[in-house]
Chains A and B, each alone.
Chain A
């Protein structure tokens, strides 16, 4: 018996050597970008393996019947049976977003299979070489649960981003639109970025800091959507966390690559404006209608309208066009990387220039990044320095907050013949760039990773981040009504220091290694300051002086500086456990202490738990494994926080020197020469020792499935986010002397579904064409659960009559409108109250007792409170107005389709938003702005849209859609706060179309190139939209308003080349 055993063992030992090993060579390529260096080739059942060199070649010895396993991060694993072959050409299929990946869950990465959290991810190459100033714009339509609206076409501007719904509540209209939706937390290379509130877009250069990151330097973007992932960021995770990893070095001989593209930005379709004779005809018609029964028609008609022979008044100036131009967009990226297993390096430089389609606007970015990695021989210690430098230059058009008010409704009539002087007055600020905005960013960090044992490692990451911004504005006297030139200068410095240290423990237990446990405990400190210095001079002596020098003393010289600081100290921990990779559990806890809270409430704790069940690993599922590669259920609950924008809430702040009074004009800081100090009577005057963290309880349930070995992937998540104790201004008693105080008074709920489909290949396996469809849809419902001051409704708006309401049971910023029921055809149609005998009437401006019945041609409003009157000027709560519509999109998403055929690629991305309402303030202004213009003079002075196609009421009996043109009626029936101007904001946009051609390797050889690819792209191709009246249904502010003064989104066309050496 013993002999037999011995012989068997001997035989076993001999067998492998008995078969003669053979030398196998091969090349591994990616179907799109050519050779894949660094791919792993292993013999199955054996630990032997090699890595491909920089040309994607490998060579190893293997038994002739061996099976090779080829794998590479981001690609589907392949197995190839040698069957005696000695050379293999293997094409790997990319697998971005699928389950083979790792995902970042905050301070850790986990295999997507084991993740219990809701995370959306994209790879850097999905957003490469698309002309966009800031990478957030590129996230649109690519990630479920992430709603991006590119509401402005201004180069480099930030879009609005909300992860799983709007959680921001404000009690008044914010002209600063970025603050209406709470921004998610950005984490770039593990460093949480500045709190945006520190420098709003209305201070200094106002440039979007994130735009300093070159989108082509991004390796991956992961969005943490639920508490299971984001709770580890505690007090800043409530609005989602967007984690960006930048590209890093790989080992090998130096590889250089240059990628460049250039193209055009083109003015999109603008609003229709009538020009020349068309304007004259239209105006006369509208004027005659408006003054039908009025002698004014004969006596008041303005010269501009009638005198077509006057050379000063017979032009056809399309003023709108004067503000726009077509421009160029250019981008060059260069990078080199390489290194040994002990030391790698990567250096990259980039340049991006985009001309804005509005004159004198534009964006330039220069970036230089360096990262390296230094390792000891045994790999126990690794030091990674990383430096990112960026410079941004931004042109701001007119330099005013309203980008170009002249393009809105106050555009002059085309009939004016502009002379040089008046053109200069209108366009002067656009024709020469007098507003110079630069931001210089320095981001540096060093991370140290120390492996203490096989199970335990320590990591420390220390970073500094600086933004130095300058804005210099100089305005010549001509543009200051000839009152001398003016100059201002603003210089800001943001500094942020972060250190983060953690211990990571990994262990596998049990006989069959069925228990895997992984834990992290760490600490983080972040300290940020912002300082700004501002100087301004007016009434200068010479246009030549472009700095603040030599201006008259006194009210014309102004200087100030500011300072704000914020510190946060955090402890965090997380434990992930799984049993046989089938039952997954995870729990995390973060404690944050922030300087912005008072001593009683410094600390906030944010726990989360989650669990997952990998059903496909269960024995009873084995029989489906041929087609169902994975099926997972997961769920989580956790608490997330949100930091207030105010840093000094715990103090009763005082107002130093605010001694102005109504009528003073010069903003004095003194009374009788003595500097004044009082509490801040508006808000901030009450110390908030007890104010506590804004907390969001977040539930998530998800299902994930992968079919046919990753060919099809599906995931769906259902969530509920209860944002409690939202900080909102509460009205204090009038007798306290202080108007408002921030309080934990409001509650919001967001709930919805995120769905994600991925068809890695729609075509049959054998087809030369591969067709990939990636599809995601997010639905979110937003509701106000409670309001402070006993659920008191709050109304607000940017206009005289408030247009938005915060009320319990409706979405945030719901419209607050009169209901329009049509247009009175005749006077007789105006109803009479059967009790009072009075006709239904317009509330008079100054006297409710007066009698002003509605007339033919005016809008019919619903008299909801039944008092027989519609108050024309009720600014606040009105009995006839109701919450109506919803400016928050319900359904958003995108479809990406890619086609790969031989060396060609072709792809397009479509984005869509459905169930959103838009209030068309531009149109209400078109018709309603002349209500006070008794003579029609104003009407004749300004541009007019093409209204001829509109069904406007003209004479009694007309069944019209639009009420009669309102010129000088003083009756304000074209008020903006009515449902007539509410439109469907649904749109489906072909966002971009791209194509590429990669040269074959053979063709590259004589050129000594490694890679050569040509590509082209069309951005913002076409929009299908429900509304006929909006020029661009996406170009709508976050309040759901279109007012015509925004920045239109240009079309962009680019061609590029990508060269590797």
Chain B
């Protein structure tokens, strides 16, 4: 009678007893990551909204109490922006991964369905991947962060932790990813797991991103500096082995990808998918209020006359113009046949095209076409990113010609008409900066609303983010401020350099 146990949930002593438990915990880690990244559209607000109103026009701010435009001008010190400044929720996910890694060796062998060794490796590999992803996100947004690799045995002791040097954090991420790669296979056990369950290629793709970040931002922090070549080379090796594996890439006859297949890439689990968050409609996991749906309206979305968001002028007119100028005069034009123009923009020629990259709508109430849900996964790493990184690496390596030909073939794969024209205005001269600019432009076209253009701009030092001036960049102004609430309980914390005194 004096020992009552909860029956409405499980608890630490009773859990962690079988492979099945570990899988539920792993699902918990994924769900926690999903919640972390999508909280108040964190992913898209940070990765895309930061690019300013030339990309996204806010007509009514869905979050942040009408102060959404502060993100577009880089004012992260303003009210309501705690979702960007407070790292607590990410540490919940880290706690979950640390618990899994701590408990995994203790799970009895006989509870594994198949080979226990393989089963353990599979869980450990995925867990390390999730933890690395979270630390990489923290590293990119805050720089130094407390590095915690085991669950706190006594959280009530309330022992404050200082921030760990970012060089140590990044090294830990790389080591963890090495371990994860050793645990996982390149192949998918089940084809339908593509993307939502990371495999070895996903680990390598993330690791390539981490190496590039270290090469460009951590080791060479100045805006004017070029990257550290040792890390670039490591990233290059990883990228090449992903591409050479042949596991990825949509069918491309004549070098032009199948546009029907391509359109499915944004629904999820295709040969484009490397790592994505499961947010499809099944099991009630769909979304009805994420940023992509806020672009939609009639006739793409029934009964919605007005969308909260519109595409910015620069995005529509510069990235996807109706005609492409191919010569010296404005008469030398060709119609824009880029398949993305039709796939991403509905009514591209109209005054206010609709952004339809994510528009796989399911109506919860089909009779009345009411309560729309998006049946699209949220992509975090895609094969196109690997291809674009390869060009970027080639530029860093000084192989400008290779980079250029890769860019040309990438553009051709999307059926951009001007690629074969020697008159194309931006093709010459081939310089380090002009090529990186072109690659960044291509990234903007391809990866818009995938939550990473901001970090691409920081890494490639391109100034696509209008407010990130070189001066601010050199004060580490691309990092976010720490939430003042974090200091309440922790006297060891120090504010980021650029934000000290501003918040």
Asked if residues B1 and A672 are in contact (CB atoms below 8 Å), the reply is no
A744 → chain B closest CB, angstroms:
10
Q: Judge if A299 is at the interface, Cβ distance under 8 Å.
A: no
Segment at the interface with A among B11-19, B208-216, B455-463: B11-19
| A949 close to B (CB within 8 Å) | no
Q: Whose C-beta in chain B lies nearest to the C-beta of A667?
A: B284
**Chain A residues near B364 (CB-CB < 8 A):** 554-555
Contacts A/B (CB < 8 Å), 9 sampled: A594-B2, A671-B31, A674-B26, A674-B27, A677-B24, A678-B92, A730-B156, A737-B92, A739-B88
Does A423 sit at the interface, judged by CB under 8 A? no
Question: Is the CB of B252 closer than 8 A to any CB of chain A?
Answer: no
Closest to A678 in B: B28
In Å, the complex CA distance between A555 and B152 comes to: 37
Min C-beta distance of B74 to chain A, whole Å: 13
Which residues of chain B are near A735, meaning CB under 8 Å? 91, 146, 148, 152, 161
Q: Is A668 an interface residue (CB 8 A)?
A: yes
Q: Could you say which residues of chain A place their CB within 8 Å of the CB of B289?
A: 662-665
Query: Does A33 sit within 8 A of B, measured CB to CB?
Result: no
Q: Name which residue of chain B comes closest to A677, CB basis.
A: B24
Interface residues of A in 711-761 (CB under 8 A from B): 730-739, 741, 743
What 5 A-B pairs have minimum CB-CB distances, sorted nearest first? A737-B95, A678-B28, A567-B1, A652-B12, A674-B27
CB interface residues, B 80-108, toward A, < 8 Å:
86-89, 91-96, 99
Q: Which of B2, B285, B488 contacts A659 (CB 8 A)?
A: B285
B40 is an interface residue with CB less than 8 A from chain A = yes
How would residues 157 to 188 of chain A score, 1 for a CB under 8 Å from any chain B CB and 0 otherwise?
00000000000000000000000000000000
Chain B interface residue count, Cβ-Cβ cutoff 8 angstroms: 82
Residue contact B486 to A661, C-beta cutoff 8 Å: no
A380: CB under 8 A from chain B?
Answer: no
* Given A733-B160, A735-B161, residue A681 in contact with residue B31 (CB < 8 A): no
A649-662: contact bitstring with B at CB < 8 Å (1 yes, 0 no)?
00111111011111
Q: Which residues of the partner chain B approach A662 to less than 8 Å between Cβ atoms?
A: 35, 38-41, 289
The interface stretch among A412-420, A485-493, A558-566, A910-918 is A558-566
- A653-B11, A736-B155, A847-B78 known; A661 vs B91 contact (CB < 8 Å): no
Q: Counting CB contacts under 8 A, is A539 at the interface?
A: yes
Contact B284 A666 (CB under 8 A): yes
Q: What CA separation (Å) do A731 and B94 show in the bound complex?
A: 18
B residues within 8 A CB of A367?
none
CA distance A382 to B488 in the complex (A): 64
Asked if A676 and B24 sit within 8 Å, CB to CB, the answer is yes
B288 within 8 A of A: yes
Selected contact of B38 from candidates A596, A663, A731, CB within 8 Å: A663
Q: A483-B370, A688-B156, A737-B94 are in contact. Are A789 and B488 (CB under 8 A)?
A: yes
User: Is B3 interfacial (CB 8 A cutoff)?
Assistant: yes
Q: Are A652 and B373 in contact (CB under 8 A)?
A: no
Q: Determine the distance from Cα of A739 to Cα of B90 in the docked complex, in whole angstroms.
A: 12
Please, which residues of chain B bring their CB within 8 A of the CB of A789?
A: 158, 488-489
Query: Which B1-53 residues sit within 8 Å CB-CB of chain A?
Result: 1-13, 15, 21, 23-32, 34-35, 38-41
In the complex, what distance in Å separates the CA atom of A914 from the CA atom of B200?
A: 72
Neighbouring B residues of A677 by C-beta, 8 Å: 10, 15, 21, 24-25, 27-28
Any chain B CB within 8 A of the CB of A442? Answer: no
Contact B24 A651 (CB under 8 A): no
Decide yes or no: A567 and B2 within 8 Å by CB, A652-B12, A665-B288 being known contacts. yes
- Residues in B whose Cβ lies below 8 Å from that of A656: 9-10
B-chain residues with CB within 8 Å of residue A737 when the two chains form the complex = 88, 91-96, 151
B287 on the A face (CB < 8 A): yes
The yes or no answer to B333 lying at the interface (CB within 8 A) is: no
- Whether B348 sits at the interface, judged by CB under 8 Å, is no
Interface centre among A671, A686, A732 (most CB of B within 10 A): A671
- Contact B70 A733, beta carbon cutoff 8 Å: no
Contact B79 A653 (CB under 8 A): no
Give A686 to B151 CA distance when docked, in angstroms.
11
B278 within 8 A of A: yes
**CB-based nearest B residue for A732:** B155
Taken together as a complex, chains A and B put the C-alpha atoms of A655 and B284 apart, in Å, by 18
Taken together as a complex, chains A and B put the C-alpha atoms of A652 and B39 apart, in Å, by 25
Using known A-B contacts A654-B9, A734-B91, A845-B67, determine if residue A686 contacts B155 with beta carbons closer than 8 Å: yes
Chain A residue numbers with a CB within 8 Å of B88 are: 734, 737, 739
Give the docked Cα–Cα distance between A464 and B345 (Å).
Answer: 69
- Judged by DSSP, the binding face of A is loop
- B95 lies within 8 A of A679 (CB): yes
The residue that B158 contacts in the complex, of A594, A732, A846, with Cβ under 8 A, is: A732
Question: How far does the alpha carbon of A651 sit from the alpha carbon of B7 in the complex, in Å?
Answer: 12
A666 nearest CB neighbor, chain B only: B284
Question: Which residues in chain A, 844-901, are within 8 Å of chain B measured between CB atoms?
Answer: 845-847, 873, 876
What are the residues of chain A within 8 A of B91 when measuring CB–CB?
734-737
CB distance from B306 to the nearest CB of A (A): 17
A660 touches B35 (CB 8 A): yes
Which residues from A are CB-within-8-Å of B28?
Answer: 655, 659, 671, 676-678
Point out the residues of chain A lying under 8 angstroms from B488, CB to CB.
731, 789, 792
A672 touches B27 (CB 8 A): yes
Interface residues of A (CB under 8 A from B): 483, 525, 527, 539, 554-555, 562-569, 593-596, 602, 647-648, 651-656, 658-679, 681, 686-688, 690, 730-739, 741, 743, 789, 792, 845-847, 873, 876
CB of A303, distance to nearest CB on chain B (Å): 23
Chain A residues, CB < 8 A from B89:
681
A residues in contact with B65, CB < 8 Å = 845
Q: Do A569 and B1 have beta carbons less than 8 Å apart?
A: yes
Tell me, in angstroms, the Cα distance from A14 to B161 when the chains sit together: 99
Residues of B within 8 A of A655 (CB): 9, 28
Asked if A734 contacts B486 (CB within 8 A), the reply is yes
- Are B158 and A730 neighbours in the complex by a CB distance under 8 Å? yes
Residues of B157-173 at the interface with A, using a CB-CB cut-off of 8 Å, are 158-161
List 12 other contacts, CB 8 Å, given A676-B28, A681-B92.
A569-B2, A648-B4, A656-B9, A659-B285, A664-B279, A676-B27, A687-B11, A730-B156, A732-B155, A733-B489, A789-B488, A845-B67
Q: Which of B6, B65, B285, B370 has the most CB of A within 10 A?
A: B285
Q: Are B4 and A671 in contact (CB under 8 A)?
A: no
- Asked whether, in the complex, the Cβ of B34 is within 8 Å of the Cβ of A671, the reply is yes
Residues of A within 8 A of B32 (CB): 678, 681
For B155, give its contact among A567, A676, A733 (CB under 8 Å): A733
Asked if residues B8 and A564 are in contact (CB atoms below 8 Å), the reply is yes
In whole angstroms, what is the CA distance A671 to B91 when docked? 19
Determine whether the beta carbon of B285 is less than 8 Å from that of A686: no
User: Separation in Å of the A649 CB from the closest CB of chain B?
Assistant: 11
CA A1034 to CA B158, docked complex, whole Å: 42
Q: Which residue of B lies closest to A875 (CB)?
A: B79
Q: Give the CA-CA distance A733 to B160 in the complex, in Å.
A: 6
Which chain A residue lies CB-closest to B364? Answer: A555
Residue in A closest to B30 when the chains form the complex, CB atoms: A671
Residues in B whose Cβ lies below 8 Å from that of A687: 11-12
Q: Are B99 and A670 in contact (CB under 8 A)?
A: no
Cβ contact within 8 Å between B25 and A678: yes
List residues of B (342-391) whose CB comes within 8 Å of A's CBs.
364-365, 368, 370, 373
Residues from chain B with a CB closer than 8 A to the CB of A563 are 7-8
Q: How far is the CB of B274 from chain A (nearest CB, A)?
A: 16
Taking A668-B283, A731-B488, A732-B155 as contacts, is the C-beta distance between A595 and B2 under 8 angstroms? yes
CB within 8 Å for A525 and B1 given contacts A678-B96, A738-B95: yes
CA gap between A554 and B362 in the complex, in Å: 13
Q: How far, in angstroms, from A734 to B99 measured CA to CA in the complex?
A: 17
A595 proximity list for chain B (CB < 8 A) = 1-4
Tell me, yes or no, whether B282 is within 8 Å of chain A by CB.
yes
A29 to B458, CA, bound (A): 97
Tell me, yes or no, whether B227 is within 8 Å of chain A by CB: no
Q: Does chain A have a CB within 8 A of B490?
A: yes
A564-B8, A651-B12, A738-B95 known; A659-B31 Cβ under 8 A: yes
- Residues on A with C-beta less than 8 A from B2 are 567-569, 593-595, 602
